[in-house]
Amino acid sequence: MRKDVVTGQMMPKRQLIRIVRNKENEVSLDPTGKKPGRGAYVAIDVKIAEKAKAEHTFDSVFGVKLDDSFYDELIKYADHEQARQKLFGHE
């Protein structure tokens, strides 16, 4: 179980997207969940990803300034994963 940093809800890891900040302060999506660095999680939900963009959640979580392009990538990835879950289930 991990906490969604946007909603504060605890959820199984498989229902979350890991975002990671590395030593160079670069923030990226971590689809494998194995990249080195500090991680934070957000639910696989387009509406929650859009809320993260509106509130610049990961800027404050990681203490860096992120471009809107990062959040756009997150929303696109969340949309893709949400569609996969509808097709194949949560596994």
Task: Give the tens place of pLDDT for each residue, 21-34.
Answer: 999 999 999 999 99
Which CATH number does the domain housing residue 74 bear? 3.30.1230.10
Task: Show the domain range for 14.
Answer: 2-88
Measured CA to CA, the distance from residue 79 to residue 83 in angstroms comes to 6
Query: What's this model's pTM, rounded to 2 decimal places?
Result: 0.93
Task: Give the tens place of pLDDT for each residue, 45-66.
Answer: 999 999 999 999 999 999 999 9
What are the distances in angstroms from CA 3 to CA 36, 49, 65, 67, 86?
Answer: 19, 14, 22, 24, 22
Query: How many domains does the chain fold into?
Result: 1
